[in-house]
Amino acid sequence: MDKFCFGIDIGGTTIKCGLFTANGELKEKWEIPSRTENGGIQVPQDVADTIDAKLKELSIEKKDVLGVGIGVPGPITEDGTVLKCANLGWDIFNVNEKMSALTGLKVATANDANVAALGEMWMGGGKGYKNIVMVTLGTGVGGGVILNGKIVAGSNGGGGEIGHMTMNLDEKETCGCGKHGHLEQYASATGIVRLAKKRLLDTSVTTSLRELAEVTAKDIFDHAKAGDTVALELVEELGRYLGLALSHVAAAVDPQVFVIGGGVSRAGSMLLDVISKYYNQNIIFALSNKEFRLAELGNDAGIYGCAKLVIG
């Protein structure tokens, strides 16, 4: 009989679920809603129930399940203690113990950005490497550091919090975290749109972006590819901050490859080129010419990484 495991990526809106074989084949994937009301108290039971239902549906016995890997949207220590999880309303508790009691299965838990990085290392843009740094450029900037094939969770669950590196000491606007000038304010989808809106306030600036009712990150890259000078400058600005930030990460942990994911990464090679340009401008020679790759698993990176947590 084949062995199986579950990858459960808990988000603020939906819980993405995957059933994998022990060698990493995704057999089934589905979603259930995240019931975040009442401090998210229902979420653990919902996860246990959907696992039970799937096992019953496919006539898989628990003895053939290696375990359940879980990703949560907040800082979590290596032993599975979630420290605060605003998106779910969760307080402090040990997810491994709770979910193990509910499912009767072995459970491993990690931060969602970190499991995405692990998933990309295993089966995506970082395949073949053991030391990768992933950044996810979405609404925010998430990050994950994988060394020797393992997540660097950090002593406060803050490993890979790359989006909150302070990149601009002169920034007046506030980051989501309350500080100023963090990478997320420039290199996320929200961030580059913010920069664009600031440029458009200057009525003397001529740009094809002005013709749009609303500017998105995709628009900015599309107009840059079409040659619009202002859009090109905005892409450069994103690349300048992100390339510099990744040079800082490299000076700390010297990975083999950087994997860039999230919605903004759909801009493709133009994005990789501008990041690597500014990375190489700043990095010490011994660490130059790292590989920059696009993520490949999209929204499935998390469930893959969760499964890998269990498979080891």
Distance CA 235, CA 274 (A): 8
Among 16, 54, 98, 182, binds its own copies (CB under 8 A): 182
Which x/- pattern over 242-281 shows residues binding its own copies (rule: CB under 8 A)? Answer: --xx-xxxxxxxxxx-------------------------
**28 versus 254: smaller Cβ distance to its own copies:** 254
**47 versus 246: smaller Cβ distance to its own copies:** 246
Tell me: does residue 179 bind its own copies (CB under 8 A).
Answer: yes
Among 169, 172, 201, 204, binds its own copies (CB under 8 A): 169
Tell me: does residue 75 bind its own copies (CB under 8 A).
Answer: yes
Q: State the minimum distance, in angstroms, from the CB of residue 154 to its own copies.
A: 2
Tell me: does residue 210 bind its own copies (CB under 8 A).
Answer: no
Distance CA 135, CA 161 (A): 9
Tell me: does residue 125 bind its own copies (CB under 8 A).
Answer: no
Tell me: does residue 196 bind its own copies (CB under 8 A).
Answer: no
Q: How many Cα neighbours within 13 Å face the side chain of 41?
A: 3
Which x/- pattern over 81-120 shows residues binding its own copies (rule: CB under 8 A)? Answer: --xx------------------------------------
Tell me: does residue 157 bind its own copies (CB under 8 A).
Answer: yes
Tell me: does residue 42 bind its own copies (CB under 8 A).
Answer: no
Tell me: does residue 79 bind its own copies (CB under 8 A).
Answer: no
Tell me: does residue 127 bind its own copies (CB under 8 A).
Answer: no
Tell me: does residue 156 bind its own copies (CB under 8 A).
Answer: yes
Tell me: does residue 140 bind its own copies (CB under 8 A).
Answer: no
Q: State the minimum distance, in angstroms, from the CB of residue 67 to its own copies.
A: 21
Q: Give how many residues touch its own copies by CB under 8 A.
A: 45
CB 221 within 8 A of CB 231: yes
Give the footprint of its own copies on this chain (CB under 8 A).
75, 83-84, 131, 133, 143, 145, 147, 152-162, 164-166, 169, 177-179, 182, 244-245, 247-256, 282-287
